Amino acid sequence: MATIAKNPMARASAERRFYSGMAIFLTLIVFAGFAPSFYLRNVVPAYPRPNPILSPFVIFHGLVFTAWMALFIAQTQLLAAGRRDLHMKLGVATIALAMAMVPVMYLAGVWQVARANQPPFTDPLSWTIVPLAVIPAFAWLVFEAWRRRREAQWHKRLMLGATILVVAGPGFTRLPLAPPTLTGFAVQLFFGTVLLFAPLFIWDRRSQGKIHPATRHAFAATLLASMVPIVLIATDSWASIAAKLPGV
């Protein structure tokens, strides 16, 4: 595989294009996944998934996550334009938004029980583990990205990984690509995670000649947050725990 690791100018230019492209690509996945239930509700046909009436909180949740995607695009575009100063200033707002997303994710997860927003292969209580499992992985990736904010290659990959994490399950699995069964969901989620990380794997090989440790960490966290819920749903191990969670 051709590498650009030995050409700093080519690498910098390609790196800007790569992260800008990934931000736009992930945003398109989110838009496509949530078009029937949120962005283009009652405009395009609904996917084979429950499409309950939107409550004010669900709308707020959607706007918060839309803001995250918008900030991710803005941050990559600022770096592409050479405005590292503005990127760093906006980074404070990005971290503040990430902190706000954690309780929003939790409440969206437990309040969906009353909305019965789960797919047909499970029950509302068991389904809570799917969004809730994202929270610790997302918080860890963002925290590590902030802690390593002066290590550009670590920081960029961890922030990209955190964004892929919140896109893979909520967005990609809403696309009608697999049968509405637990097996179909698991296969789509697994291959979706691999697919969304594949460009980063390829970029690492081209730019550095190997997979960067941050990429491995982000991929492992995302895969763990994706596959553990499948096991808990399949073994019916989570519903009794979910029933005791605050807010359910």
Ramachandran bin of 116, using left for φ above 0, alpha for ψ from -120 to 50, beta for the remaining angles = left
What pLDDT does residue 53 have? 77
Average pLDDT of the segment spanning 160-184 = 93
8 Å CB contact between 84 and 76: no
What pLDDT does residue 82 have? 85
The DSSP element (H or E) to which 136 belongs, if any, is: helix 134-147
The pTM assigned to this predicted structure is 0.93
Which residue ranges make up each domain of the chain? 8-45+52-242
Q: Among 38-47, 93-102, 189-198, where is mean pLDDT lowest?
A: 38-47
With cut-offs at 50, 70 and 90, classify the pLDDT of residue 50.
Answer: low
**How many Å apart are CA 239 and CA 37, to the nearest integer?**
25
Look-up of token digits 């492209």: 21
